[in-house]
A and B are shown apart, each in its own frame.
Chain A
Amino acid sequence: MPTPLLTLDGVSKSFGAVAALQDVRLELHAGEAHALVGENGAGKSTLVKILAGVHGPDAGTISLDGRPLQLSGPADARAAGIAVIYQEPTLFPDLSVAENIFMGRQPLRSLRRVDYAAMRTRAAELFARLGVRLDPDRPARGLSIADQQLVEIAKAISLDARVLVMDEPTAALSGIEVERLFAVARSLRDAGTAVLFISHRFDEVFALCQRITIMRDGRWVSTDPAGTLTVDEVVRRMVGREVSAMYPKQDTTPGDPLLQVSGLTRHGSFTDVTFTVHAGEIVALAGLVGAGRSEVSRAIFGVDRHDAGEVLLDGVRLPNGDTAAAIRAGLALVPEDRRQQGLVMELSVERNTNLPRRWSLARAGLLFGGAERSAAATWAQRLQVKAGRLTDPVSTLSGGNQQKVVLAKWLATAPRVLIVDEPTRGIDVGTKAEVHRLLSQLAADGVAVLMVSSELPEVLGMADRVLVMHEGRLTADIPRTRADEQSVMLAATGQAAAA
């Protein structure tokens, strides 16, 4: 074997009492795609941040081409040829998409003026390569989480790095976008880039990567060629026990219509959306990135106002643009973007979990520490949230554990209608099955569930009915028995508009 391009040896890192990494090793070769897998909180993102120069390791060495590499900040990592896509997008909301991509290395004209024309053209080229339809001039504010992710990907690719690190880049993307990303990643790999890929979707891991490194509880477990491993074996080593990867939806007989959406329209986002979700039903809302699924969810929930149409919950009309009223009526929304919409990152796990039901937790108008603590603890336990203390800021949790807190926060409100937007984004296999079991259980108890998901297996496994959106309109309503990969993808790409 030639000298590895990048080597981590004996790397450890602690945050206070939490040992996030202990004696971890990793070797990346030029021209290989290497997967890093492990449960939520296993330390994958911490390792990425060490490679990116964001965190300094407490112990251990990093070397590039066999020579020790000292990273005292992200600028050093970039100079060394390491490009990183973080798990959570970190765009500047008020800058344009193109400015975000070329932040700190804008093409210049004479007199050090920024060459906006060149910047725009190069951004457009990158988007064409990734098959993304985004206007380079639009501000980053308001981009969906998937689009933000795509901008981060474009940014990383434009660096022409020797090492490309991608921390769950596909978590919010649907099949088609993932395929395009993989095509680009493969061509980079074949040109000699080392790609480090993190994902909780094993089909992706096996489709892209030649070698797989498994981590558990902050420790290195194994590194093997992908060909010698099976999904079951990977899961067993990750979790340390057997888990079922999928939890199929129990059959229930749909009851009364609980959520009725008719003619819902928001100019520029979606048009004339009409559907019903019955008690006991899980209805999936599928479609490509940008089809308007999240926008519909937000309008139903009242975070955004709608321009026409109405939303009925159990026959009662919800006021337009009134989230508090929607929550009181028994509606809950797990939003797509946990960092901006789902959580207040600076507040504790406990405060976040209890925020939507702070009124119902109060006794005589007052909140007492004990009641809040036990309410949060119950739900943290049910969703297996891995956190130091419930009073720690939620920002110190790993991505998947943050997602569990968002779920806990809304399940705790005991909703009658639950809308979940990418509910298992960034959640590991074991917990994913648990989340699916919970959703199925809720439906069995008579809750109406509307599930937006880009993950086709999740849609097909969980949904009683699949609604498909294409460019802001509902294009198909497919019952469980007829839903398969092909029917959903055809409708999502607009080729089955007649259905």
Chain B
Amino acid sequence: MSEPVARIRRALGTWDAVVLLALVAVAVVGALTIEGVASPRFWRFVVLEAIPIALIALPMTLIVITGEIDLSVASVLGLTCSVMGQLWVSGVTSLPVLILLSLLLGGALGAVNGLFITGFGLPSLAVTIGTLALYRGLAYVVLGDRAVANYPTTWTTSAIQPLPGTTIPWMILVVAALAVVFAVVLHAMPIGRGLYAMGNNAEAARFAGVDVRLTKFWLFVASGAMSALAGVFWTLRFASARADNGSGLELAVVAAVLLGGVSIFGGRGALLGVLAAVALLGVLRNALQLAYVPANTLTVITGSLLIASVVGPNVAGMLRERLRRRRTTAPTVSPSS
């Protein structure tokens, strides 16, 4: 087998390729069998829904690769929405200023996570479950049950403006640009090499001069800032800042990251697979909704997919080993024993 052919074979065998193929298959089958999936409106909705998930999934991918997790992202989003709403009500009327303050707030909230995790050596799962509750609680303290909805329509329409000649919102370009940045950092920069190393073996990474704690700290800051950006988008898209914005979104993000082939134990995965998984889950959910599949069934399907993606590779490996052993040791069994 020549080297290019072998390389293509290996590429097709990767999980990224599996997820991409599944995405294409779901889109094609959906378009052929479900009324409305082929329409441009459908794709507009899919993209609008996927944008905040994708924004948060970018840093989440890097974090999970280092063996950590950030479950506070949706609460950071919610708190950012609340604070942005409160600032607008109290007279901050410049959109760039609001965006900047939101990003700073998100970064600071992420830094708090990072400090507890790297400074005090606490597990990120515990810390971010704590801040998941804390930040959401603060969101209610800031805004209560109010909804701030009187943003200028120019702002709200500009956020979801389609690209000329299509129905796809222009924000997708922002997501794409950020995705390129994160992909380059992860896959083509020295930092990325360090991320994979520390996710697999933090001690060996330290022996190679990787500053594990500092790197993780900045990843959590990035995660906070990206969640805040998603919060700004959320506010403008729905023209409404509420304390419960984005509740439960962290599960959608983590689901996409894991389905995208990132190992929950760290050290493994790629950004392409995650982006494909964000799209796959979005298309699947919206297509099934159009087919009048009840919401509970949708949840069951997403959950099963997730379990399959985590368990699948392990079971396949076990079966292969079992088969190999049976084949090779069978002839040596003596009838007398």
Contacts and interface: CB of A to CB of B under 8 A. Distances in A.
Given A342-B207, A346-B267, A59 B200 contact: no
Interface stretch (B24-32, B128-136, B157-165, B183-191): B183-191
Contacts of A326: 209
A366 B184 contact: yes
B204 A367 contact: no
Contacts of A340: 201, 203-204
Nearest to B197: A344
Interface string A103-146: 00000000000000000000000000000000000000000000
Contact of A346 (B184, B200, B207): B200
A359 B193 CA distance: 10
Contacts of B209: 323-324, 326-327, 356
B211 interface: yes
Chain B contact residues (Cβ within 8 angstroms of A): what range? 20 to 34
Interface string B172-198: 000000000000100011100110110
Contacts of B211: 323-324
Contacts of B333: 68, 70
B81 to A, nearest CB: 35
Interface in A345-403: 345-347, 351, 354-356, 358-359, 361-362, 365-368
B317 to A, nearest CB: 14
B325 A72 contact: yes
A67 B336 CA distance: 10
A330 to B, nearest CB: 12
Given A61-B332, A67-B334, A324-B209, A365 B189 contact: yes
The CB with the most chain B CB atoms within 10 A, among A61, A62, A342, A344, is that of A344
Contacts of A70: 329, 332-333
B296 interface: no
Q: Max chain A CB contacts within 10 Å: which of B190, B201, B204, B207?
A: B207
A359 B190 contact: yes
B188 A367 contact: yes
B205 interface: yes
Interface in B311-337: 324-325, 328-329, 332-334, 337
A344 B196 CA distance: 9
A430 interface: no
B160 to A, nearest CB: 34
Contact of A59 (B203, B328, B334): B328
B190 A367 contact: yes
Contact of B329 (A72, A301, A303, A366): A72
Task: Name the residue in A61, A358, A367 with the highest tally of chain B Cβ atoms < 10 Å from its Cβ.
Answer: A358
Contacts of A366: 184, 188-189
A432 to B, nearest CB: 23
Interface residues of A, number: 39
A327 to B, nearest CB: 4
Given A56-B328, A324-B211, A68 B337 contact: yes
Contact of B205 (A57, A62, A344): A344
B11 interface: no
B193 A67 contact: no
B100 to A, nearest CB: 26
B197 A347 contact: yes
Given A72-B329, A354-B193, A347 B200 contact: yes
Nearest to A72: B325
A341 interface: yes
Contacts of A351: 193, 196-197
A307 interface: no
A335 interface: yes
B208 interface: yes
A335 B207 contact: yes
A344 B337 contact: no
Given A56-B325, A61-B332, A362-B189, A323 B197 contact: no
A324 B190 CA distance: 13
B206 interface: yes
Contacts of A300: none
A67, A327, A343 pick with most chain B CB within 10 angstroms: A343
Given A340-B203, A343-B204, A344-B205, 5 more contacts: A68-B332, A68-B334, A344-B267, A354-B193, A355-B208
11 contacts: A56-B325, A57-B328, A57-B329, A68-B333, A70-B332, A323-B206, A326-B209, A342-B204, A356-B208, A358-B190, A362-B189
- 9 pairs of A and B residues whose beta carbons are closest in the complex: A358-B190, A327-B209, A355-B208, A324-B209, A56-B325, A68-B334, A346-B200, A344-B201, A341-B207
Interface of A: 56-59, 61-62, 67-68, 70, 72, 301, 303, 323-324, 326-327, 333, 335, 340-347, 351, 354-356, 358-359, 361-362, 365-368, 409
